[in-house]
Copies of this chain bind each other. A is one copy, B any other.
């Protein structure tokens, strides 16, 4: 499918910031015409679907400034340079909820919105949880809550969970757990 590819002709840095960079590239399209592509450069990140033995899932309420809303989300965070996705998942789960995971399983990965950014999200299912002390980042304010997994799924369809990585993660985890139950 090489005929779908676009080729970079030139690249201009617009902004280098705290959590993201912006560049605008001129590209050669498959039909020989030219166009511009706006690209937000962002780090890789992780989302953790942490499920208790009682089939409850750990979620966090967090104010999201870009949308000016408090969203109910799975614990998540940006990967530090050199950090593995798995180490990052363990660290973020502990920082945001206090819990450590006895079992951590990668279930899928995805680009959050590949039309304009390279942000890559690694999704983990965490089980065998042990409670501990929450340590959020200095400028991060969170409220942890436990929601019944089946209820969390209903909240997706009722517009009460409106975060993409959380919806993808919850459904991917649920579907996998269901399949494993059938297989056992």
Residues of A whose CB lies within 8 Å of any CB of B are: 1, 3-6, 14-15, 17-20, 22, 24-25, 27, 29-31, 33, 35-40, 42, 61-67, 69-71, 107-121, 138-139, 141-143, 153, 156-157, 159, 161-168, 171-172, 174-176
Contact = CB atoms under 8 A, between A and B. Distances in A.
Number of this chain's copies in the complex: 2
Most chain B CB neighbours (cut-off 10 Å) among A31, A62, A70, A165: A165
Contact of A20 (B38, B108, B143): B38
A27 B140 CA distance: 13
A92 to B, nearest CB: 13
Contact of A157 (B4, B31, B107): B107
A152 to B, nearest CB: 12
Contacts of A142: 4
A167 B157 contact: no
